[in-house]
Structure 1
Amino acid sequence: MVPNKLKILLPLWAVVMAITAVKATADYVRPPARKTLHFPWDPKPSSHPQQVHISLAGENHMRVTWITSDASSPSLVEYGTSPGQYTSKGHGDTTSYSYILYSSGTIHHTVIGPLEHNTVYYYRCGGQGPELHFKTPPAQFPVTFAVAGDLGQTGWTKSTLDHIDLCEYDVHLLPGDLSYADYIQRRWDTFGELVQPLASARPWMVTQGNHEKENIPFFIDGFESYNARWKMPYEESGSSSNLFYSFEVAGAHVVMLGSYTYYDENSDQYNWLKADLSTVDRKKTPWLLALFHVPWYNSNHAHQGEGDEMMQVMEPLLYAAGVDIVFAGHVHAYERSKRVYNGKSDPCGPVHITIGDGGNKEGLANRYKDPSPEWSVFREASFGHGELKIVNSTHAFWSWHRNDDDESVRSDEAWITSFTTTGCVAKEQKEGR
C-alpha cells in the first residue's frame, strides 16, 4: 500500500511545489495579448495635413513633419502663442519615396523658430486643416522624458500611448522599432495616424531598430521609409546620417546611436560619436544620456549577445565620457541594471535600461536567464513605458509603469545621481580613457 500511495502523492506534491515556485518568482499574471489595431479608411481632402509629428531641430527650433496627398500643397507652417492668431510662419521642403507598388504621399519637413522655452504654440500646416498645438521643453530643470520603444500598432500600443498621454512630459524618447510596418508601407501611414495626437503635441526623438531596415538587396536601400518620414536633427548635430545624432534639452545632452549602421573604429558613426562626446560641457549639460536599439546588458534569453560587437567598440567611449543612463529596446520586456561597465558592476558606469515593451505585435519575451546576473536589479516581461524626471543637476527620478489591463501601475522606481557629483567623469578624463 505504501508504494501505491507514494505513486499518487509524489505527482501531487510536485504540482504543489511547482505552483508555489511560480508564485514565489512571478507575483504578476500578465493579461493576454491584444490584436493589431484596425484603421478604417477615412478619406480626406488631398491637401489635408496628415500624420503630423514634431521633433527638436537645434537650439530653440522645432521641425514639423506631415504628409499630404497633394504634391502642390505648400510646406508652410503658421504659428503663434494664441489660438487662431499666427504671427509667424516657416517654409520647408518636401520629399517622397516609392517602394515596389507603393508611392508615399508628399512628406513635408518645415523647421520653425526661434521659439520660447516652456511655451504653448498653436500652429497650422499647409495653410489649412485643423489647428494643432505643442509645448516647447523648458530651458532648465526639471525636465521629464517619456520613454517607450518597440511600439507597433496593437491594443497594448494604444494602452501605452494613453498612459504616456497622462504623463506631464516634455520629450518622448523612442529607442527603435516604431511602426512594425515590415515592408507593408501602408502601416507607416496608420502608425502616423495613431501617434499624431501625442507626436504633434510633444517632440518625439527616435532612433532606428531592426524593423525599420526594410531593405531589399539590389533594389531598395535600408531605412528608406524611416529616413523619409522621421527626419531627426542629424545635420544640426554634425552627423552625416539620420541614423545617429545628438541634441540638448534643459541640461541634458542626449546621444542617439544606430545599432544597424556601421559602428567600427573606422566608421563615420564612431568618429562622430567620439567628436560629439568631446564637446559635451557638463556644466551646461550635467546629464548625459544615450539611446540605441539593441541592448548591451540583457539577461533575457531573447536577442542574447546581439549587442556584444557594438558594445566592445563603443562602450569605452560612453564610459570615458561619463554617460549616466543608457536606454535600449529590441527585447520585448523591461530590465534595469546597476551602474555597469565591462560586464560587471562599476560605480563609474551608466545605468542600462531595456524598455522594448511598448506594445509590439510579436508579444513579450518571457524567458530570463537564471540565476540573474549580479548587475541586474529589476526585470519583468510586461508591456509598459518609463518616465525620467531630471529634477536638478544632480538627481533624477526614474519610474517604469507596467500596463495592467487599462491601468498604469508604477512597478519599478529609482533615484539616479548624476556623475557630476561623483568625480567619475573627471577621473576618466584625467586618465585619458
Structure 2
Amino acid sequence: MRSFALTVLAVASSALAQINVPGQVPLNPVEPLQHRLAYAGATGMTVSWNTYEQISEPTVYYGTNSWNLTSFATGTSVTYASSLTWSNHVKITGLTPDTLYYYIVSHTNCYNCSELAPYTFTTSRETGDYTPFTVAVAVDLGVMGATGLSDTSAGAITVNDSTTIQSLARYVEGFDFLWHPGDIAYADYWLKEQIHKYLPWVSVDQGYKVYNMLLNTFYDEMQPITALKPYMVGPGNHEANCDNAGTTDSATNISYTVDICIEGQRNFTGFRNHFRMPSAESGGVENFWYSFDHGMVHFVQISTETDLGHGLVGPDEPFGVEGNFDSVGQDAGPFGTKNEQYNWLQQDLASVDRTKTPWIVVAGHRPFYAANPEGGVCLECITAFEPLFLQYNVDLVLAGHVHFYERNAPIRNGTADPNELNNPSSPWYILNGAAGHYDGLDPIEGSPDYSRYVQNSTYGWSKLTFHNCTHLTHDFVASGNGTVLDTATLYKNHTCAAPASNVTGTNSSAPSSDHSGSASLKASSVLFAVVLATVLMVAL
C-alpha cells in the first residue's frame, strides 16, 4: 500500500514540477500549451494549442460526460520560419448547439486523462435563440508583468490591482466568449523595450528570440481564459511585422524599419498560423474577415489593416500587390483580390435574417470616430465601410487602436444621431483601446460633438449584455477592481421573432465576484486534492 502511495505521489510531483512558466520552454516539448477555442459554425468548435515540437497527428478527445471522452477528432500541426513552437489545430464538427463539452488534447499531462477532462467548452447558441448572454471585448492587450506592461506607463497599475488578463480570468464564467479585434501581445515592441532598457539588450539578429518570448508569454498568460471560452480575434497593426512600424534609438540616432524583420515576422505570419477563425463557414478570408451567429446576434470581424479596397484606389492602380504599402501605411497584405473584403461585407450584411439575429455588431481594429482624430482615426475605413453600415442598419461598431476608452453617440457621417440611444437609425460607435500594454494609455486630444464619455485614467475591458432583441447594454469594466465605470443601454425597435422580455431585472449589473473560474477546473482541482489527501493518509 505504501509503495502504491509513493508511486502516485511521484506521478503527482512530476506533473506539478512540469507546470509551465509563461514564456519558458517546458521540460516536455510536446506538452500542450496555449489552449484556445474558436467557434466553427453553430455545430463546430476549433480547438488549438501549441507545442515546442511537432505532433504527427494532433487529436482532441471530447464528450458531454467528463468520464467518457470516446469521441475524437484530428487535425494538423503547422509552424513557420523563426517560430519556436508548432500550432496544432483541430476542428470538431457535428456538435450540438449550446451544449457543454469536456475535452483534452494530445499529450495532456494529467493523471488518468482518459477519465478526467480538465477543460470544457460550450458550443454556439442556435440562431434565433433569444436567451440573454454576455460577451467580453478587449482590444490593444499586451504582455503584462515584468516582460511587458511597465509600472511607469500612463495609467499604471498598482500592486493591489488586477491586470486586464487577470480580470478577464476572474470573470471568465460571466461571458460566452472573448473578442479581441487586434493588437495581440505587442511582441513587436521587443526592440522599443530594449532601447528603453526595460528588457536586456540583444543584437538585432537575435531579436526574433525576444519577439517569440513576448508572444509565447502572452499566449501562456491567456490560457485560463482561452482554454475555456472561444477567443475570437481580428488583425491589428501590431500583428503585421516585428518592428512596431519603425523604431528609433535616440541615443544612437539609428532608425530600425521593417527590414530588420526576418522571415516569419512579416505580413501577419504569426497571426495567420496561430489562429483559425470561422472564415470557411462564413465565406471570409483566414483570420482577417469573417462572421458568425451566436443566439440573437450576427457578429462581423473586418480588417482595417489591409484589403480596404472599394473607393480607395483607381481602376488601374495596383491595389493588392504583395509588398506594396497599403492605404493605412503598412508593408503588409494583401489577402484577397481587389475589393474582395468590401464585396464580402456587403453580401454578408445583406444575407442576415434580422428576425433571427436582430442585432448586428461589427468590430475592426482602427476607429471610425475618436477624440484623437489625428492619432488613429481610419478615414479610409469610413470611406470603405460606413455606407454599408448605414445601408444595412448595423447596430454597434467596436474598435480600439487609440489607447483610451470612449463611448460615442450613434453617428451618421460624422454627426450624432438625434435619437441618441433611443432607437437611432445610425450605428453606435464605441472605442476601447484601454486593455493595457507597455506604452500605457494615450492622451485625449479633442472633444468632438458626438463623444459622450471618455477616460484615459485606468485600464479596462468592455462587457456587452444582450438582454433581448431590443436592448443591449455596454459596460466599461475597470480591470483593477472589476467596477463598472461607464454604462449605457441601446434600444432598437427590432422586429422580434419571439417575445422580447422586459429589460428590467436582466444581467446588466457589474460582474459578480462569484464568477471566479471554470467549473471544470475547480472540479479537477478539488478531485486532485481529495485524491492526494487520501494517498497521504494511506501512506502514513
Decide: shared fold, TM above 0.5: yes
User: Contact between 2:58 and 2:74, CA under 8 Å: does it hold in 1?
Assistant: yes
CA distance in structure 2 between the aligned counterparts of 1:376 and 1:45, rounded to whole angstroms: 52
Deviates more, 1:310-319 or 1:216-225: 216-225
2:241 aligns with: 214
Q: Give the TM-score normalised by the residue count of structure 1.
A: 0.82
User: Contact between 1:63 and 1:111, CA under 8 Å: does it hold in 2?
Assistant: yes
Tell me the amino acid that sits aligned with residue 390 of structure 2: Y
Provide structure 1 residue ranges, at least 5 long, that are not aligned to the other structure. 1-37, 423-433
2:477 aligns with: 401
1:150 aligns with: 140
1:411 aligns with: 485
Q: Which secondary structure does the structure 2 equivalent of 1:104 belong to?
A: coil
Aligned length in residues = 377
In proportion to residue count, which structure has more strand?
1
Query: Which residue of 64, 73, 95 maps to 1:81?
Result: 64
Cα shift at 1:158: 5.8
CA distance in structure 2 between the aligned counterparts of 1:109 and 1:58, rounded to whole angstroms: 16
Q: Which secondary structure does the structure 2 equivalent of 1:109 belong to?
A: strand
Cα shift at 1:49: 0.8
Q: Which secondary structure does the structure 2 equivalent of 1:293 belong to?
A: coil
Structure 2 vs 1, CA of residues 321 and 419 (structure 1 numbering), >3 Å: closer, same or farther?
farther
2:403 aligns with: 332
CA distance in structure 2 between the aligned counterparts of 1:270 and 1:419, rounded to whole angstroms: 27
CA distance in structure 1 between the aligned counterparts of 2:97 and 2:168, rounded to whole angstroms: 22
CA distance in structure 2 between the aligned counterparts of 1:55 and 1:193, rounded to whole angstroms: 17
Query: Which residue of 41, 50, 54 maps to 1:67?
Result: 50
Tell me the amino acid that sits aligned with residue 251 of structure 1: M
**Counterpart check, 1:159 vs 2:234:** no
CA distance in structure 2 between the aligned counterparts of 1:317 and 1:361, rounded to whole angstroms: 35
Cα shift at 1:366: 2.5
Quote the RMSD (CA, aligned, Å).
2.2
**Counterpart check, 1:120 vs 2:196:** no
CA distance in structure 1 between the aligned counterparts of 2:52 and 2:34, rounded to whole angstroms: 12
CA distance in structure 1 between the aligned counterparts of 2:162 and 2:233, rounded to whole angstroms: 18
Q: Which secondary structure does the structure 1 equivalent of 2:425 belong to?
A: coil
Note the alpha carbon deviations across 1:360-383, whole angstroms, 9 max, x for none.
1111012231xx222111110121
The within-5 A match list for 1:105-254 is 105-130=85-110, 131-139=118-126, 140=129, 141-155=131-145, 159-167=163-171, 168-182=174-188, 184-214=211-241, 216=258, 220=263, 221-254=266-299
Cα shift at 1:137: 4.0
Deviates more, 1:45-54 or 1:148-157: 148-157
Cα shift at 1:165: 2.9
Q: Give the TM-score normalised by the residue count of structure 2.
A: 0.66
CA distance in structure 2 between the aligned counterparts of 1:355 and 1:308, rounded to whole angstroms: 18
Higher relative contact order (CA 8 A, sep 6+): 2
Cα shift at 1:88: 1.1
Deviates more, 1:172-181 or 1:211-220: 211-220
Aligned identity (percent) is 33
2:12 aligns with: none
CA distance in structure 1 between the aligned counterparts of 2:47 and 2:374, rounded to whole angstroms: 36
**Counterpart check, 1:357 vs 2:428:** no
Q: Which secondary structure does the structure 2 equivalent of 1:420 belong to?
A: coil
Note the alpha carbon deviations across 1:34-88, whole angstroms, 9 max, x for none.
xxxx947352312211111001112221101111223234210001122242031
Note the alpha carbon deviations across 1:103-145, whole angstroms, 9 max, x for none.
3322111011322333322111115334322233433221210
Cα shift at 1:219: 6.1
Query: Which residue of 326, 348, 351 maps to 2:425?
Result: 348
Tell me the amino acid that sits aligned with residue 137 of structure 2: V
Provide structure 2 residue ranges, at least 5 long, that are not aligned to the other structure. 1-20, 111-117, 146-156, 189-207, 243-257, 311-337, 418-423, 497-540
Tell me the amino acid that sits aligned with residue 83 of structure 1: S
Q: Which secondary structure does the structure 2 equivalent of 1:66 belong to?
A: strand
2:325 aligns with: none
2:307 aligns with: 262
Note the alpha carbon deviations across 1:251-289, whole angstroms, 9 max, x for none.
111110111111121421111111111111101111100
1:7 aligns with: none
